[in-house]
Chain A
Amino acid sequence: MASFKPTKVQFLPKLGEKVTEETLYWKNYKSPVQIKEFGAITKIDFSPLPPHNYAVTASTRIHIYGPHSQEPIRSFTRFRDTAYGGRFRGDGKLLVAGSEEGLIRLFDISGRVALRQFKGHSKAVHMTSFLSDGFRVVSGSDDLSCRVWDVPSAVELSSLTEHTDYIRALAPSKLNPDLFVTGSYDHTVKVFDMRSGSSVMTMQHGHPVECVLLYPSEALLVSTGGRYVKVWDLLKGGQELVSLKNHHKTVTCACLSSVGNKLLTGSLDRHVKVYNSSYKVVHNFDCDASILSMAIAPDDEALAVGMTNGVLSVRHRRHQKDKEMLTSRRRRGPSYQVFVKGKNFVPRQDDFLVSKPVKQYLRKYDKQLKSFEVSKALDTALQTWTRTSKPDVTVVVIIELNRRGTLKNALAGRNEESLTKILNFLLKHIFDPRFSRPLLMVGDIVLDLYQQVFHQSPVVERLLQRLMEVLGREAELQQELLQVLGILDTLFTSLTPRKEALAAPPVAQESQLQAA
């Protein structure tokens, strides 16, 4: 004897939404932790050493946060003016930062006072960084120069003035200590080699460059500026590989995830976009304000986004453990008193096990369907909670009733109140392509059943009128769409090469001939 098969609620995908591995991966972040800073956050940098603290540059301070702390574990406040571009050295022990007044300061992580100060820039220094040998610091300034400093002696080693506008982007090579890339508001990206003391490659970005980024292999270079994100192939002499235009405001920052080198870009339009390896947007994070800076922790453990309103939002990755904890908490066993008896009993080897039949738990509407109480089942499915939060369940019950040939019986004999419920549900969902077919059927049956008595209730009459209006509008829309489709079809057929079209007629003629 087979048991009752419960009604199956089918998961119908919504139009235009694709669930892929990548979206699942990027969706797997907890809701963001918000930390308020004193001013716009211009730079975030993660320490390369575990536990991956991160330095946040905002206003006249640089704060260092621990991976899960909401309070700064250290802060550097000895700036007279706005600080810019705080960055860690490769070993995570030193930090360098520029400032509005043109001074570059070098801090020990454990100390408070600047170890070194590099003087020489005449204008604000927005970008500073260590070269990969760790003994030199490179800086880009608004005075159009790019300078390299020696850390032990605090002297300027060289000054490069090839850019013709503010230098706002800088990326040192990790593989070669003499190479670094700069981006400037003069729309160019330049690759400098310290050995030759001049630029070795220049790319035209076409917009003021806000950020440059090197892939770990250093064959690819990403530059952002204006609404564009461009990827350059350095091995092919700086050929443009791809140009992306997915933001609708200036793209201010970009970073690479450490798992799979996925590109993330943040923009003033308040979105962070995640691209897959073929540069298609696979995920999108929304933020409250325009994004100025962004960084992602090693292993993608956390994503920190800094915004113009001084809010730092940090998203932490959700782990399997957390999920399990959540679910295990929810699925707590039955109460102690009733069910605990014999729970831990281990049967002996020659015990005869009498298996208890597993009770089948059914939803309320299923129970009612099982006992053929069709009207009640429809009532259950039309309960407020179900019909608002799970309309698919309601529709599935309607479909099931129709399959059993009892939809008419279930809809018949209703009072004004429950009829209003049904009509409201129809009004809300009749255009959903997932539901329209069964709901149109329901509408037909309701009209058939209550034709005589509609005028007795003004409420129902008003709802019906609204339904009619809305349906009329929808029909017009559909017709227009069909017309557009027709136009497109003719366009496409005229565009396609005529080879296939030519291929067909001879056969047709042939067949006519044969027929003749």
Chain B
Amino acid sequence: MVEKSDVRVVRCGGSKINLRPPIISTDSRFVLCASGDSVKVYSTRTEEWLHSLQGHTNQVTGIALNPANHLQVYSCSADGTVKLWDFIDGILIKTFIIGYRLFAIYVSEKHDGISLFTNILPENSDKCFQLVAVHLPKSAEQEVEAKELSAVSSRISPNPSCTAFGREGQYIAFARHLQLNVYFFRKQKTYSFSLKATDKKGAKNAFTCIACHPADDCIATGHEDGKIRLWRNFIHTKEYTYSTQHWHHNAVNTLCFTPEGTNLLSGGIESVLVQWQYGAGNRKEFLPRLGGSILHVSTSSDGQLFCTSHSDNKITVIESSFKVCGVIQGLVKGDAVFTDLMIDPRSKALVLNGKPGHLQFYSLLRDKHLYNLDIVQQEYIYEAGLDQFEVVKAAFDIKGYWLATVEERGQKSSDLEFVLKLWAYDERTQSFVLNTTITAAHTDRIISMCFSSSEETTMLVTTAEDGQFKAWCQGADDQSFWSCDFVGSYHNLTPTNCSFSADSSLLAVSFQEVITIWSPDTWELLTTLCQPPGVVRDLCFGQLSCSKYLIATTTRNLLCCWNLLTCALEWSTSVEVSKLQPDPLSENVAAFSYQSKHTDLFVFKPNEPRPLFTHKNVCSEKIHRAVFVPREELLNNCDESSQWLNRSQLYFLTQNMDLLTFSTATEEDRMLSSSKRLVIDDSIAVTPFYLLLGKHRQQQQKLNTPSHPALLHTPAHVLPAASVLCSMFVSSLLISNTGVREMESSEQEMNSEKEEEHSEEEMEACDSQQELRAQGSVDEVTPKLSKAQERELKRVRKTDFSWMAGLIDSKP
């Protein structure tokens, strides 16, 4: 299709940064983390995102510093390659193609050559991960195929923190379920130790993570029930010992020894970072309430900084004195996003579920997390399986002055608790302040809610499973608080969706198959619309010139459009629509349709049943959340297919929690041009001295490359004596006539001041210049030379190397 080439689906920011442990660079200045299909580099001091290393074509699944060069980093990806980067400049140095999907990377400095150990998933066996040693061949080429694989173990845990290198790379320890294996490289043998599944007290002994002491023969293992075991003497299969320590009440997610091995850091779901003193029994320190549960801990090589990554897509940088000194926050993605994607009308930030019990504001423009708004305002208890309050619904009014939220608890049990809260925007503090809390807004779960769209009066409508919809108004008898204004129901059916028309003169509430139209002024039931079979799934009014249309989708694959002036069905088509999203700034409506395992997008105007734009196979998952984001500056695409993106941009969230968007050709052009402009800006800052030097070098390279090989490849017996050649060779390295000539024109201005000072030298050089001009210099300018150049020039001119030209000409 033509449209496809013009409008592309683009992944936009906000990818996971907590998939694998972050790395701190040796100088403690940078934090690197795998994020989507790139590696992101952050500054530890300012917490700012510096740049990303892009090049992988699939999820980056592991990163490790190059032990041979601390300015380089290895990254492995599910696309089957390992790449070596210079992470300070963001340059790809090498690519090793391995050919299997890689899931983790472990590097040891003590192994000869460069060996990587990677978890791989061979294609033939599913769900079985192998630990493989890879020898990376030394080669000058950019892309190298690494075929030298040797399997260490064919069945290991898919969790990459269950594998670790031991002291000085002598052994590697890996655990799976209830078995701890230690592979000694020297003996080429695997010792395994196993625990019972449960003991009398019902402990769950499965391994969850492993860390090896850097200087001692000791392996620390974390277990599912929160125990930490320290294994010693495992060189002998029979005489091993272990000691147990228990503080965590739930699974230990990560363990890490400090570089000197004096302390052991552990973290789990409690979100408390625990520092155990090695060898001091039970002495420990705590750093509580860090945010989401701790997934990974890593330390810098000097032990001054710790880095924890959390389940709420966050990296915390902690000093060794247990003080938090930086937080790098990505787009928080909980287990699921319950709220719709929303746009804060004031800041134009994307608003959705954030940390548990919070709403997050995320700037899409800068791909940066702005802030979290605490909705639940309760201490969060980090405990697995605990039923917590979660924000399930949220809505903004049209001016961004009011925010309504619903928090819910007890989705699993029958005892449902929910609270409706209304927040007012406070100009002074620039954030939302709780205005009204309604504890028993309905007798059952709230299904949907929306604000009226008129500017004068704000009204909130909620629909609930108790068969009623309620309208809430501010200040029926008191000006500052919200209270119920109207309770409506229709034949005791369950209302599902509600929507206000563009001017708020009509309210549409769908009751299963029936759509009822109410007048919010008088609360009179105006009319009912119905198009059976199928329960109404989504409902929206047309905008602007199409505001007389009402569009609804049903569960029986029907997309209907009613004309509200005639109260008749205008048109309907058979499309399975999973999400209907109207654009508030134009007439367009976007419909995501899920059919035969992939999602298609249709954009249409309500007044005609023909789509303006279709995009087949947007992604392979069902899409339930989408939002139109108003653009900062309007695009002017003349192309019909991309015109719908002129005013606003469509973002959508897949079930894998990837935030995607559509980008147009013009937009990309604009971005490209802006990046080009940046390059030019860079060169302006460079000193004239650098310009001079830089050009010298370029030209030397250009000139020398042909002459030197010619000189070197000529058989020795043909060449004149070395003593003759030497001076000539050296002088040819210095500078050549042609080079100087090109130089002169460009450096004319720079040398103009020096002109007067070196007048007598110029006189000497005069004839040479004339000769040069005679040779066919194109430009009219009088070339001027610096003192040194002139001197060189003179010397060069003395030697005669006409024979050389002959040589060069004859050779190729």
A residues lining the B interface (CB < 8 Å): 1-8, 10, 12, 18-21, 369-370, 400, 403-405, 500, 503-504, 507-508, 510-511, 514-515
Contact = CB atoms under 8 A, between A and B. Distances in A.
Given A1-B287, A3-B289, A20 B379 contact: no
A8 B288 CA distance: 21
8 contacts: A7-B379, A8-B377, A20-B478, A370-B379, A403-B378, A403-B388, A405-B383, A500-B525
Contact of A18 (B288, B324, B477, B528): B477
Interface in B428-476: 437, 439
A503 B383 CA distance: 54
A4 B530 contact: no
Interface in B276-297: 287-291
Contacts of B287: 1
B397 interface: no
A504 B528 contact: yes
Nearest to B387: A405
B514 A4 contact: no
Contacts of A508: 491
Contacts of A7: 378-379
Given A5-B378, A404-B381, A514-B531, A507 B514 contact: yes
Contact of A4 (B379, B437, B477, B525): B379
Given A20-B477, A403-B388, 20 more contacts: A3-B289, A4-B289, A5-B378, A6-B379, A7-B378, A7-B379, A10-B439, A20-B478, A21-B478, A369-B379, A370-B379, A400-B378, A404-B383, A405-B383, A405-B387, A504-B525, A504-B528, A508-B491, A510-B530, A514-B532
A6 B379 CA distance: 7
Interface of B: 287-291, 324, 377-379, 381, 383, 386-389, 409, 437, 439, 477-478, 490-491, 513-514, 525, 527-528, 530-533
A369 to B, nearest CB: 7
A8 B287 CA distance: 24
Nearest to B287: A1
B492 to A, nearest CB: 12
A4 B490 CA distance: 46
Contacts of A504: 490-491, 525, 528
A312 to B, nearest CB: 35
Q: Which of B409, B478, B491, B530 has the most CB of A within 10 A?
A: B530
Contacts of B290: 1
A504 B525 CA distance: 9
A8 B389 CA distance: 14
Nearest to B316: A1
B112 to A, nearest CB: 44
Contact of A1 (B288, B513, B514, B528): B288
A19 B437 CA distance: 16
Contact of A515 (B288, B409, B532): B532
Contacts of A370: 379
Contacts of B409: 403
A404 B532 contact: no
A193 B708 CA distance: 129
Among all A-B residue pairs, the 10 with the closest Cβ atoms: A507-B528, A511-B530, A5-B379, A515-B532, A2-B289, A404-B381, A1-B324, A405-B386, A1-B289, A514-B532
A18 B289 CA distance: 40
A19 B475 CA distance: 12
Contacts of A405: 381, 383, 386-387
Nearest to B374: A5
B128 to A, nearest CB: 37
A507 B517 CA distance: 13
Nearest to A372: B381
Contacts of B533: 515
B378 A514 contact: no
A503 B517 CA distance: 13
Contacts of B491: 504, 508
B532 A8 contact: no
A403 B530 CA distance: 43
A405 B528 CA distance: 46
A156 B378 CA distance: 80
Contact of B386 (A4, A8, A404, A515): A404
A1 B377 CA distance: 16
Contact of A8 (B378, B478, B525, B527): B378
B245 to A, nearest CB: 19
Contacts of B379: 4-7, 369-370
A511 B535 CA distance: 13
A209 B439 CA distance: 49
B6 to A, nearest CB: 41
B267 to A, nearest CB: 14
Contacts of B478: 18-21
B383 A10 contact: no
Contacts of B528: 504, 507
A2 B377 CA distance: 12
Given A8-B378, A10-B437, A514-B531, A503 B525 contact: yes
Contacts of B530: 507, 510-511, 514
Contacts of B389: 403
Nearest to B324: A1
Contacts of A20: 477-478
A404 B389 CA distance: 11
Contacts of A18: 477-478
A2 B378 CA distance: 12
A370 B379 CA distance: 9
Q: Which of A4, A7, A21, A511 has the most CB of B within 10 A?
A: A511
A274 to B, nearest CB: 16
A85 to B, nearest CB: 40
Nearest to B532: A515
A392 to B, nearest CB: 13
Contact of A511 (B387, B477, B514, B527): B514
Nearest to B530: A511
B479 to A, nearest CB: 8
A500 B478 CA distance: 31
Contacts of A511: 513-514, 530, 532
A405 B477 CA distance: 39
Nearest to A10: B437
Q: Which of B288, B379, B387, B490 has the most CB of A within 10 A?
A: B379
Contacts of A510: 530
A10 B377 CA distance: 12
A404 B290 CA distance: 19
A81 to B, nearest CB: 51
Contacts of A3: 289
Contacts of B324: 1
Nearest to A19: B478
Q: Which of B290, B324, B381, B527 has the most CB of A within 10 A?
A: B381
Nearest to A438: B417
A5 B324 CA distance: 19
A404 B385 CA distance: 11
B273 to A, nearest CB: 10
B618 to A, nearest CB: 33
B357 to A, nearest CB: 10
B518 to A, nearest CB: 12
Contact of B377 (A5, A400, A404): A5
A514 B513 CA distance: 12
B358 to A, nearest CB: 11
A515 B531 CA distance: 8
Q: Which of B491, B525, B531, B533 has the most CB of A within 10 A?
A: B525
A18 B477 CA distance: 9
A492 to B, nearest CB: 13
A489 to B, nearest CB: 12
Contacts of B386: 404-405
Nearest to B355: A2
A507 to B, nearest CB: 4
Nearest to A8: B377
B467 to A, nearest CB: 14
Contacts of B289: 1-4
Nearest to B372: A2
